[in-house]
Structure 1
């Protein structure tokens, strides 16, 4: 029994795929690496995005309406791609590898964006501070970098907070209480990163240059990745459960087609999900009672 108490009871495993040891993994031993990753990632994101309309107008020579539309299209993409990241994490890769892979894509995007603002040939030609002309190729390079970032953030946004929650075993009352504190620190980290980005980095972009203005967020994102990989041995990982589409399309059996996953409880609402649910004895009792009431 003492040996069993050493391991978590929520199915989490360590980086080698073995049951997670409660004394060596998770809790506040692992969380600083996740919080550091989130703080630096948010600093990078807001530091790059807060002043983007101004960059479109004064460096890519777009009109105010076009610059605003470009910014909204890109921002909207950043909030759609998490659907991809969440699906990939839950179904196939797990949260650790999803965060890791998409973070690397993010760093490539930030680095390329910095190069488009600094390297001759990629950088728009400017006669003065606000008199620039960008070729179609230069504009295209900028947007390739931006949409790489949008893809990268799609794998991080839906996974980091829940990955932090994975570090606490709900079956352990002490760890369960600490989970709430993690989310307090998590949102504090987000706001610290956003505050620095929206003040210091915007000033750098307007007064020092866009090379530094994009370069500092790129370095911050590289630090975020380093933070994350540094905690690899301490993290607890939930195994991916297979595609949720499989659960919706499965046959009406008692067991789920996804190994290790339970079927949903059956309800009268949304009957097209019936194949994804399991009927219990109480459902049949209620059905018989309803039929009896109708007959009366």
Structure 2
């Protein structure tokens, strides 16, 4: 690849006055953001429903991954500026990125494995291992190129093209949001498809495979523009210089502690023996802003839970929007949609109105308001969660098992589960609710119909749901069915199974899906169906008789056992047993919390980036941008610490805890902001340059009298 010095800039192709190379960069960014956000949109559901991790572990791994994605930009910036340059860093880490996405897609393939009794894929450790390798590679890839791509695009413009450069960044930001928006709509749809050769499952290989393909396209598009790019050699990393300056100041301060030296105004002045005044003053400005960053990670701790806790919350809600059926992970699209709408509205309407009211809405006040709004968003999420909790079934926990009894017989059945456990009586053609037991105490069950009694052994394990079906004919028949339903459906579909209570074997079809041959007193497996009314057709295997009937109207996220009771005049007699209640709290109730937190993001994130840029010295803007990204990483680490340490059993209580923590941090930040003094880095740097020039003139003409234009106390 040719260095910048070997390229004749006038020969580079242009389009409408813009370097043609930037369009390759914009397309590259669109595809990369589609790849990242598309994979991330379904990630927490992949952990929960494919790897079968619980909510807490799924959330922990998700935020660990996001934290790593925002820690690695520092490494990417150092590699680009110190060794490889931006171009080669983007190429190298994009290859790593693509490999990681491919490994994630491969890790979710389950056709070559069987499923264990608890629903986990066989060889689960292999799936977990591949997933972790894939996520680590993705984190290094996306984080490493993050500080390089936008800056590389800005490098393509000449100095006199400031207007075009500004428009490029707007186009670049649009590509980021477009990629994010489309991917969070499309990949949940791909996940919702049924795919597989041996077993039909949620299609995570497709949901991860398409982002992997887009990342490969991103890499190829970037390489295609290679001959058009302006590429510069690495010039040394300013972050390393700042770190060395700080380290030397600390070391020199303690080294000279016992000696008599004049007191210095600032502890960084102890670096003056080795570093020039310009670097020291610039470092002071940077540290002043970084100190303000200390409380900011708490905002990101709440904000990034949109992809974890809020998505898991949506799995327990009703996604019926009339003509549209919204998947839980598609609710994340509310944020980018609102961002695209609200950023221009806030800039063009809200801020001017505030200014007309003569309110001095400074950047730090905007950031404070953003934190306050994020806290309110979690209060709204807690209120929604309280309503959801009223509708959730009580699933078995560790050390528990649940059994429901369905009596298909003609008489009352009495069931004795053993010493110390309450006996139950079940009316004919009725059922009990799920009964919770300690599985170690369930050894056998005694079933009685009048004077007729039978003793059956039970083989149950912890965290399982079973259905015990009973019938009295010539003798007492029993069957223990493993339900396998211990969570809400991740896609809002309804789980339906059938029990044949007729005297002969039948074939069952519902809505065109065949359940196959079902013997008398036998049950099918659960199959997923969308909401609405379905046609059920039963064909007898010993004759040509067929019966049919319309099902009840299924809701969203329910589970039913349908008992085939009779076939009378070609009409099917059905009985419905509710295994899991349908979702009744609508997903639309999440919109207020998304709206509030997006308002917070607009005044927090956009303002924070602008503030960081305006308060940074000209050659240290990358240092503050890296510091800003670091607050996102720390925020995700806070989620791990708080969620792990709180041990709260109720999700609404955890939401309230996060809201309270952010509110406390918001108050602390407002105090810090009150004492912050805004600076003009360009003016200070100009004063230092003038001072150095006068000092040089003073050395050349010792007799002249020059006034020092800036003192340490002014810093």
TM-score by length of 2: 0.33
Of 190, 206, 209 in structure 2, the residue corresponding to residue 212 of structure 1 is 206
Equivalent residue number for residue 193 of structure 1: 179
1:45 to 2:39 alignment: no
Out of 282-291 and 31-40, give the one that drifted further: 282-291
Residues 1:239 and 1:288: Cα distance change in structure 2 (over 3 Å): closer
Equivalent residue number for residue 269 of structure 2: 271
Give 1:183 deviation, angstroms: 0.5
Contact 2:4 2:230 in 1 (8 A): no
SS in 1 for 2:10: coil
* Cα distance between partner residues in 2 of 1:75 and 1:221: 18
Give 1:15 deviation, angstroms: 2.6
* Cα distance between partner residues in 1 of 2:165 and 2:115: 51
* Cα distance between partner residues in 2 of 1:288 and 1:22: 40
Residues 77-114 of structure 1, C-alpha deviations (whole Å, 9 max, x = no match): 00000110011101111100000000000011011111
1:163 to 2:157 alignment: no
1:21 to 2:8 alignment: yes
Contact 2:108 2:127 in 1 (8 A): no
Equivalent residue number for residue 138 of structure 2: 149
Residues 1:249 and 1:71: Cα distance change in structure 2 (over 3 Å): closer
1:70 to 2:69 alignment: no
* Cα distance between partner residues in 2 of 1:52 and 1:288: 57
SS in 1 for 2:90: helix
Aligned residue pairs: how many?
256
SS in 1 for 2:120: strand
| Correspondence 1:1-296 to 2 at 5 A | 15-25=2-12, 27-118=18-109, 125-126=114-115, 131-133=119-121, 135-170=124-159, 172=160, 175-208=161-194, 209-244=203-238, 245=240, 249=244, 270-272=268-270, 274=272, 275-278=274-277, 280-282=692-694
Residues 1:117 and 1:290: Cα distance change in structure 2 (over 3 Å): closer
* Cα distance between partner residues in 1 of 2:150 and 2:710: 44
Contact 1:248 1:276 in 2 (8 A): no
* Cα distance between partner residues in 2 of 1:67 and 1:84: 27
Residues 216-237 of structure 1, C-alpha deviations (whole Å, 9 max, x = no match): 0000000000110000000011
Contact 2:3 2:231 in 1 (8 A): no
Residues 236-289 of structure 1, C-alpha deviations (whole Å, 9 max, x = no match): 112211244357648xxxxxxxxxxxxxxxx97842554343562557956699
* Cα distance between partner residues in 1 of 2:48 and 2:242: 48
* Cα distance between partner residues in 2 of 1:108 and 1:89: 20
* Cα distance between partner residues in 1 of 2:710 and 2:98: 60
* Cα distance between partner residues in 1 of 2:275 and 2:227: 36
Give 1:140 deviation, angstroms: 1.5
Equivalent residue number for residue 524 of structure 2: none
Give 1:50 deviation, angstroms: 1.2
RMSD, aligned α-carbons:
2.9
Residues 142-164 of structure 1, C-alpha deviations (whole Å, 9 max, x = no match): 11111100011122111000000
Contact 1:15 1:235 in 2 (8 A): no
Q: Which runs of 5+ in 1 are unaligned?
A: 1-13, 251-266, 292-296
Residues 45-66 of structure 1, C-alpha deviations (whole Å, 9 max, x = no match): 0000012111000111111000
Contact 1:247 1:276 in 2 (8 A): no
SS in 2 for 1:132: coil
Residues 1:96 and 1:273: Cα distance change in structure 2 (over 3 Å): farther
Contact 1:110 1:149 in 2 (8 A): yes
Residues 163-215 of structure 1, C-alpha deviations (whole Å, 9 max, x = no match): 00000122x2xx22110110111011111111111101122113341111011
TM-score by length of 1: 0.77
Residues 1:273 and 1:62: Cα distance change in structure 2 (over 3 Å): farther
Contact 1:102 1:154 in 2 (8 A): no
Give 1:141 deviation, angstroms: 1.4
* Cα distance between partner residues in 1 of 2:193 and 2:111: 20
Residues 1:39 and 1:268: Cα distance change in structure 2 (over 3 Å): same
Contact 1:248 1:273 in 2 (8 A): no
More helix per residue: 1
* Cα distance between partner residues in 2 of 1:135 and 1:119: 10
Higher relative contact order (CA 8 A, sep 6+): 1
* Cα distance between partner residues in 2 of 1:141 and 1:52: 14
More strand per residue: 2
Contact 2:101 2:138 in 1 (8 A): yes
* Cα distance between partner residues in 1 of 2:129 and 2:711: 63
* Cα distance between partner residues in 2 of 1:289 and 1:88: 36
* Cα distance between partner residues in 1 of 2:20 and 2:99: 29
Contact 1:91 1:240 in 2 (8 A): yes
* Cα distance between partner residues in 2 of 1:50 and 1:288: 55
* Cα distance between partner residues in 1 of 2:241 and 2:163: 34
Residues 1:159 and 1:207: Cα distance change in structure 2 (over 3 Å): same
Residues 1:119 and 1:228: Cα distance change in structure 2 (over 3 Å): farther
* Cα distance between partner residues in 1 of 2:75 and 2:710: 44
